[in-house]
A and B are shown apart, each in its own frame.
Chain A
């Protein structure tokens, strides 16, 4: 098991309390857990398997199958850089490089202070706005490396 900080299981118990204790609840529970902790801690998966009476191997299988789940702690703000065909052509690579300069992390990595996680995604379906970058909940079309500081400063909030 990767080294992970001890987690507070009370949030897990609350989540488990609101679903029937059976296998079909698994994905819903994992989604709520992911929202609560920002990732799926090992201890929580073990507890979920125990309570829902699903083999741990199955829980691990589901947790690793979906891209929406992460087993590593993630930053508070998740930055997604689209690297689909249109964005790739219009300079998604430079956006990723600029992020690497600014935050010191590459795609798929998280800053040490757990503020940002950078991910590259294949297509967000907004090719007309290429290159597209999503910071938190905010979409930036026609993104330019020179404006990166602004994206990072303003993107964290959920407001539009």
Chain B
């Protein structure tokens, strides 16, 4: 197990982890917007840059890398708050603030890095989307791939094919829930859910009548897992009620 030095503190981590995890293990907070445990790191937001030096390098030789996707190595030295690292993060946040001037999360992160106002030209069409790619990656991860990044440069955005309601979407809300800035909008009522311009029929618990998940989502997971559809119809509350009843019965038996 490799041992590293993060901001002067020694930390030993598993071999197959990335620098970000080593930093966290050392109790050092590194900001990131596009990283999510369980998804492959992507290195998209460039906020988690750190200075890194290998044992065999000259003492004053450091390289700036993204902590989220750089593998750890024995004897590494990591510095997360050097002047150039902080300057780089400020540029990233300055640019993000120009793109998303009205987004609370970006405003807060920028302020934490000493930026009250962007020094760049403001985006004439403010958006909450920071193009972190979490939504498309989680959609790929669950095997749906209903949305993707489209176009390039200025025009780049996350969209379903042909900018129409996506035929492959299952209405699971994974994209909306993972979105760090709540850019992806949806509505859920007892009978219907809308997201990406598509309407989905909700499955309802036969006992309590609550909406549980969309029918399309239940079908997707039933087909992949072999679990019967009825399992997906049962709401959490129903499941808890069932458990409570069983416990009650056991208590009766015991006494």
Residues of A within 8 A of B (CB): 1, 42, 45, 55-61, 64-65
Q: Which A residues are in CB contact (< 8 Å) with B151? A: 64-65
Q: Please tell me if the beta carbons of B167 and A1 are within 8 angstroms of each other in the complex.
A: no
A61 with B149: CB separation less than 8 A = yes
In contact, A57 and B161 (Cβ under 8 angstroms): yes
Binds A, one of B49-57, B140-148, B236-244: B140-148
Neighbouring B residues of A60 by C-beta, 8 Å: 148, 150, 159, 161-162
Nearest CB in chain B: distance from A141 CB, A? 28
Chain A residues with Cβ below 8 Å from B146 are 55, 57
Residues of A within 8 A of B166 (CB): 57
Any chain A CB within 8 A of the CB of B168? yes
Residues of chain A with a CB closer than 8 A to B144's CB: 55
> How far apart are the CA atoms of A59 and B166 in the complex, in Å?
13
Cβ contacts under 8 Å, A55 to chain B? 140, 144-146, 148, 168
By a CB distance below 8 angstroms, the chain B residues around A56 are: 161, 167-168
Contacting residues, chain B, for A58 (C-beta < 8 A)? 145, 148
Besides A60-B148, A61-B149, 9 other CB < 8 A contacts?
A: A1-B164, A45-B161, A55-B140, A57-B166, A61-B150, A64-B150, A64-B151, A65-B150, A65-B152
B interface, CB within 8 angstroms of A: 136, 139-140, 144-152, 159-162, 164, 166-168
Chain A residues near B136 (CB-CB < 8 A):
57
Cβ B148 vs Cβ A61 within 8 A: yes
The CA of A39 and the CA of B160, in the complex, are separated in Å by 20
CA distance A55 to B141 in the complex (A): 13
CA–CA, A59 to B148, complex, Å? Answer: 9
Which residues of chain B are within 8 angstroms of A64 by Cβ–Cβ distance? Answer: 150-152
Minimum C-beta distance from B244 to chain A (A) = 42
Q: Which residues does chain B contribute within 8 Å of A59, judged by CB atoms?
A: 161
Cα–Cα, bound, A56→B166 (Å): 9
In contact, B162 and A1 (Cβ under 8 angstroms):
yes
Smallest CB separation, B147 vs chain A (Å): 6
Q: How far is the CA of A55 from the CA of B169 in the complex (A)?
A: 11
A1-B162, A42-B162 are contacts. A57–B152 as well, Cβ < 8 Å? no
Most buried by A among B136, B148, B150, B166: B148
Q: Is there an interface contact between A57 and B147, defined as CB atoms closer than 8 Å? A: yes
Which of B136, B139, B145 has its CB near the most chain A CB atoms (within 10 A)?
B145
Q: How far is the CB of B134 from chain A (nearest CB, A)?
A: 15
Taking CB atoms, residues of chain A closer than 8 Å to B152 are: 64-65
Q: How far is the CB of A73 from chain B (nearest CB, A)?
A: 15
Residue in A1, A42, A45, A57 whose CB lies within 8 Å of B148: A57
Bound complex: CA of A45 vs CA of B164, how far in Å? 14
Cα separation A64 to B149 with both chains bound (whole Å): 9
Nearest 4 pairs between A and B by C-beta? A55-B145, A61-B148, A57-B148, A60-B161
Least Cβ–Cβ distance between B176 and chain A, in angstroms: 16
Q: Which residue of A lies closest to B150 (CB)?
A: A64
Q: Which residue of B lies closest to A65 (CB)?
A: B152
B159 / chain A contacts, CB cutoff of 8 Å: 60
Complex CA–CA separation, A45 to B148 (angstroms)? 15
What are 27 of the A-B contact pairs (CB < 8 Å)? A1-B162, A1-B164, A45-B161, A55-B146, A56-B161, A56-B168, A57-B136, A57-B139, A57-B145, A57-B146, A57-B147, A57-B148, A57-B160, A57-B161, A57-B166, A57-B168, A58-B145, A60-B148, A60-B150, A60-B159, A61-B150, A64-B151, A64-B152, A65-B149, A65-B150, A65-B151, A65-B152
User: Which of chain A's residues have a CB closer than 8 A to the CB of B145?
Assistant: 55, 57-58
A1 partner residues in chain B, CB cutoff 8 A: 162, 164
Kindly report which residue of chain A lies nearest to residue B140, judged by CB atoms: A55
Q: How far is the CB of A20 from chain B (nearest CB, A)?
A: 20
A contact residues around B167 at 8 Å (CB): 56
**Looking across the interface, which residue of chain A has its beta carbon closest to that of B149?**
A61
